[in-house]
Amino acid sequence: MKIKNWKGILGVAIVTAGWLVSGQLSAETVLSDGYTLEDFNLHTASDLVDVCTIGQGHADHKTAMGFCYGFFEGGAHYHNTISNSETYHKIVCEPPKTTRTQAVEVFVTYIRANPQYASEAPIDAIFRALVDQWPCEG
């Protein structure tokens, strides 16, 4: 099969999955641990903490962790891309082989220890936490 055909099939699958997920995520379901599906809208860093800390036994655990890690991965790719430009420099200098799980743990620990930043935009709070943990020298 030609790659062009696969792109079309993949595009339809992604769009369909997006419709299905967005329909499910728009529900205002409150669950027993304080997490709601509204948290996926990520208005605040606290919402991201809620999503990233859903227990393994929770029905939405896999979805939430995929969303959480994907959000962090997107932030990391953006940071790496702009820090390769002449205009911006790298602000997070994590040790080699740092995992997304470690970055999420740093973020969650930081926000819990510094609740004054829980109402910030999630991406701002992520970088605030990661810069605090792994600042770049000079």
Task: Give pLDDT tens digits for 75-97.
Answer: 999 999 999 988 889 999 999 99
Same domain, 96 and 110: yes
Domain of residue 4: give its range. 1-28
Whether residues 84 and 49 share a domain: the answer is: yes
- Do 93 and 17 form a contact (C-beta atoms < 8 A)? no
Using pLDDT thresholds of 50, 70 and 90, give the confidence band for residue 32: very low
Q: How many C-beta atoms lie closer than 10 Å to residue 94's C-beta?
A: 16
Same domain, yes or no, for 124 and 77?
yes
Same domain, 40 and 76: yes
Residues 65 and 19 in one domain: no
Return the C-alpha torsion angle 64, 125, 121, 108, nearest 10.
30
pTM for this predicted structure: 0.72
In this structure, the answer to whether residues 35 and 101 fall within a common structural domain is yes
43 and 21, same structural domain? Answer: no
In terms of domains, do 15 and 60 share one? no
For residues 54 and 83, state if they share a domain.
yes
Confidence grade of residue 138 (pLDDT, cut at 50, 70, 90) = low
Number of domains in the chain: 2
Is the pLDDT at 46 greater than 70? The verdict is: yes
| Same-domain check for residues 52 and 86 | yes
Q: Are residues 24 and 35 in the same domain?
A: no
- Strand-pairing partners, residue 88, are none
What average pLDDT does range 94-116 have in this prediction? 96
